Structure 1
Amino acid sequence: MTKPSPYALFSAQALQPLPLNDFATRCLQRLQQGERLLSLFGRAATPADTGDWVLTAVFLPAEGALCVVRGQARRGERYPSLSASFPAAQIHERELWEQTGVVPEDHPWLKPVRFEGERQQHMADYPFFTVRGNEVHEVGVGPIHASVIEPGHFRFMCHGERVIHLEIQLGYQHRGAQALLLRRSAWHLTPIVESIAGDSAVAYAWAHCQAMEALSGRPVSADTALSRAIGLEMERIAMHAATLNGLATDIAYLQAAATYARLRTAIINASQRVCGNRFGRGWLRPGWARPLSAECRDDLRKTLQGFARDIHEVNGLMRGARSVKARFVGTGVLSPQAAQDMGLTGVVARASGVALDLRERLPGAYEHAPIATTTHPAGDCWARMDLRMQEVDASVAWLLEALARAPDEQAAARAPTAPEGASAALPARTLCVSLVEGTRGPVLQAIETSDAGDVLHHQVQDPSLANWFGLALAVRDNGISDFPICNKSFDLSYCGNDL
């Protein structure tokens, strides 16, 4: 049986927006049925719409294809918050409120996500949660850190060394990425899209290309899709190796740290030999992907075989070292129930027993050579480390098999070139939701067209958006000195959150 596609097309005309309260009720019903809320966003209304905003909620049922619910609202209009019953909605409702002014009544944690627009001048006034009591104190870290790292502020409420509560304030890197995507032809956006989160360039580019190809009715060949999947798995291996390097560095296990750094370099250098960029930029464009010649495939195969041998050895050292176990086992525990309730996703959720991997659930290019979903029940730093090791092994095995069955050199279909007014070839009043399972989890892009076929709205969502709150939960009741390894075991994206 053919599995659902990782993208879905909807006629915007057929998606009649519901009044705001009816929209909230319909979303609540879907959540009660066990569907996962993937995204909730709004766009400015057009003259053909009612109200100030058109709202879109994207859901993933337990089985079957993606589905959406549409609503309409006026600025300042209120609706019963979904988060009181389903905490997974909290971050999406906050983002919607920040961007549109539509208010979720009785939201338990209604605070800005990234301080967009006028709020950017008031980041110093962030309403931090406070804990009072004898010997309770606050520790503030960031936004400027002691190493080369992205900015973010972490406010710890501690009793002695024990963390009672962590609040994370982000938004320092807000660049207006989504607004920028509306200023150029949609066909030529890939260089911008793949730079939104630089360590997920292939995942972002693929989500964008997939949406454009679906909208234009120009599906790519199986060979092109295979080349993209190869690029994505190379990216996954490199970024997991980078996380493992960071974990080893944070506990001063320098033998492993040096080895992981070397192995990551081998993979990203191999990617550069394919596409000209170590982070995979330029690997794919709408309608096209890098052709893999016999020489290129042989180079990748040899690199991966050497990588597999060496990472097996260093993973054995990490898993066998008592000092590693002492720091990681039982540290930063995130229970399966908490991960499920908060709607966490990607490797972080799978390390807490949540069995969701879009490469199996919505396989697309992976349908004829699937990668089985791997989970770990413990939800601690050790589980997140071990699961990354397992995912690297699975990706290497998949890549070696894929390279063996790839054609000598697939026809490199020319990237579609748009006519004057580039997006004119796109169908009118159509919404496409596109998903790709990146290193951290699902990368989502949604593109909606206007009556004239122009791009009306371009939504981008990084998996880190939902997962940062999971980090705050994981560090509770841990020593504050364990925060660096908890943080690295999640390894979330600041810029992906901030856009």
Structure 2
Amino acid sequence: MKKNNITSLNYKDFVSESGQILGNEQWRCLAYFAHREGGGLSFYCLFADNKGDTKILSHYRDYYDVGNLVSSDISQLFVYEREISELYGVRFEGHPWLKPVRFPFNRQNIHSRIENYPFYDTTNPALHLVNVGPVHAGVIEPCAFRFICNGEKILHLEIALGYQHRGVEELIKTTNNRLRQICLAESIAGDSAVAHAVAMARLMNPATEQPHYVIALEMERIAMHLADIGALCMDVAYQLGQVACEALRTLVINTMQRWCGNRFGKGLIRAHGCHYPLTAELCEDIRAVLGEVIRRFKSVSHNILSTPTLLARFEEICVTTHQQAFQVGAVGMAARQAGLVRDGRMMNNAEFEPSIETSGDLMARLHLRIAEIEASYNIILTHLCPHVSEPPIYDFKLEPDSLLWGSVEGWRGEIVHVALTDSDGEIAQYKIYDPSFHNWIMLALSVRGAQISDFPVSNKSFNLSYCGNDL
């Protein structure tokens, strides 16, 4: 959309209109960010509903040391305001939790350091603190968890992120090499390489939807859901489920490798064209392998759901509610496991019905993955047919003086890429929203009142991305 076509409002109307939009559960915020313009800050807010309709509002202020708080009325925007404050120094008066999001290299307060993160504390002698991380056992990304506990019971969990910040948004903004940009998108989160690449491709070339996008996305979803179910089994010592799911995941990602040469789908998605055609032989390979995976997984999932010791660790454990999911702006699985309908696939397919659970517990998150594996298989069968694309081209301009975006339902949830362009069509600002940006708070809420021994399982059940948040 051309920037001069975006509705510009004063602050009062901006808050009122945003509140009316987000008060309707069918609508959600895709992006809310600020950009330095004319000596001040322009704020842009992008909304979408489940049917694919979108609205963009903007607000300009010529000062930005003190700001009015939007999230006091619209709680879904609280984490966006934390990010804006960190980048530009806007002090949103009355914000209850104005702490750093990721400690970016270009933050306003360069003296704010992750080593001095201001954890919530307590002086109550009956309570104790438990610190986990930022260095964890095994090959796992860094993140600091700080628990306040009463005995074995968790009263509060605070999660400090930012250890993996790489400056991806700035790297994309400061190069006009389209191949480099899409390769950077693939590297935002290795387990979502396809999804982030598709989001960027849709931003750069919204007019052309390549048929292989859907197939690659759903294969990525199946592979990661299998990995997560295996990890959940491992955390409750059900090794049969773990090794079975790992073997099935390997079949899926090896098929991806036969398609494009990379098990995670890197190199497959480009904005214009594709190097790797969907041949008739490849289609048959995908159909045969996934058919075998689904056949074997039905037996595995039946065993998982009929094992009493496993069920005892999942049912009514680490519960989140529909209201919590709505208030914090949860997306993807973190929303759907609590009954909140959030699925970007509905925007492109009016007949698509996402899998929904309502109990909000560990079992809901397990059930959701099981249901989505079969649903993804059926989606792939619907779209699977031979297709040959033209070779990719990288010499193209973006629409000048515009706000462009691309969104996709990754396996964790909705991924959104947004670009502001200048008069020459070059990127003036680039924003990335991984679902983990919204959903880390859901993990913290899920363990309130739970036993600290249940935290690792709940952490696995959300399986959020550290690098996806840190960028």
State the TM-score, normalized to the length of structure 1.
0.89
Distance 2:279 2:429 in 1: 38
Partner of residue 187 from structure 1, selected from 178, 183, 188: 178
Distance 1:220 1:205 in 2: 14
Distance 1:75 1:264 in 2: 52
% identical aligned pairs: 37
- 8 Å CA contact 1:88, 1:343 repeated in 2: yes
**Residues 1:465 and 2:437 are matched in the alignment:** yes
In structure 2, stretches of 5+ residues that fail to align are none
- 8 Å CA contact 2:287, 2:381 repeated in 1: yes
Cross-structure match for 1:327: 313
Cross-structure match for 1:412: 389
Distance 2:10 2:405 in 1: 22
Distance 1:490 1:98 in 2: 26
Distance 1:447 1:401 in 2: 32
Shift of 1:426: 2.6
Distance 1:387 1:242 in 2: 14
**Residues 1:299 and 2:285 are matched in the alignment:** yes
Distance 1:433 1:426 in 2: 11
Shift of 1:32: 3.7
**Residues 1:392 and 2:373 are matched in the alignment:** yes
Cross-structure match for 1:206: 198
In structure 1, stretches of 5+ residues that fail to align are 1-9
**Residues 1:11 and 2:2 are matched in the alignment:** yes
Bigger drift between 309-318 and 101-110 goes to: 101-110
- 8 Å CA contact 1:75, 1:101 repeated in 2: no
Partner of residue 353 from structure 2, selected from 372, 375, 380: 372
- 8 Å CA contact 1:51, 1:73 repeated in 2: no
Q: In the alignment, residue 349 of structure 1 is paired with which amino acid?
A: A
SS in 2 for 1:13: helix
Q: In the alignment, residue 325 of structure 1 is paired with which amino acid?
A: L
State the TM-score, normalized to the length of structure 2.
0.94
Shift of 1:348: 1.3
Shift of 1:121: 5.7
**Residues 1:279 and 2:233 are matched in the alignment:** no
Spell out the pairing of 1:117-156 with structure 2 (5 A cutoff). 117=105, 118-119=109-110, 122-156=113-147
Q: In the alignment, residue 250 of structure 1 is paired with which amino acid?
A: D
Distance 1:353 1:393 in 2: 19
Shift of 1:461: 0.8
SS in 2 for 1:248: helix
- 8 Å CA contact 1:350, 1:375 repeated in 2: yes
- 8 Å CA contact 2:159, 2:444 repeated in 1: yes
Partner of residue 33 from structure 2, selected from 16, 41, 49: 41
Distance 2:454 2:363 in 1: 13
Spell out the pairing of 1:150-169 with structure 2 (5 A cutoff). 150-169=141-160
Cross-structure match for 2:343: 357
Are the structure 2 counterparts of residues 162 and 326 from structure 1 closer, same or farther at C-alpha, using a change threshold of 3 Å?
same
Deviations 1:139-188 (A, max 9, x none): 00000001110000000000000000000000000100000002222522
Aligned length: 465
Distance 2:199 2:87 in 1: 23
Bigger drift between 73-82 and 283-292 goes to: 73-82
Shift of 1:42: 1.5
Shift of 1:82: 2.4
Cross-structure match for 1:447: 419
Q: In the alignment, residue 337 of structure 1 is paired with which amino acid?
A: Q
Shift of 1:65: 1.1
- 8 Å CA contact 1:83, 1:107 repeated in 2: yes
Cross-structure match for 1:112: 100
RMSD: 1.8
- 8 Å CA contact 2:50, 2:342 repeated in 1: no
Question: Could you list the runs of 4 or more consecutive aligned residues of structure 1 that deviate by over 6 angstroms after TM superposition?
Answer: none
**Residues 1:494 and 2:458 are matched in the alignment:** no
Cross-structure match for 1:4: none
Cross-structure match for 1:174: 165
Deviations 1:271-326 (A, max 9, x none): 01001100011111112233111111111111101101111111011100001111
Distance 1:28 1:401 in 2: 39
Cross-structure match for 1:381: 362
Spell out the pairing of 1:237-256 with structure 2 (5 A cutoff). 237-256=222-241
Distance 2:176 2:67 in 1: 36
SS in 2 for 1:288: coil
Are the structure 2 counterparts of residues 71 and 123 from structure 1 closer, same or farther at C-alpha, using a change threshold of 3 Å?
same
Shift of 1:16: 5.6
Shift of 1:131: 3.3
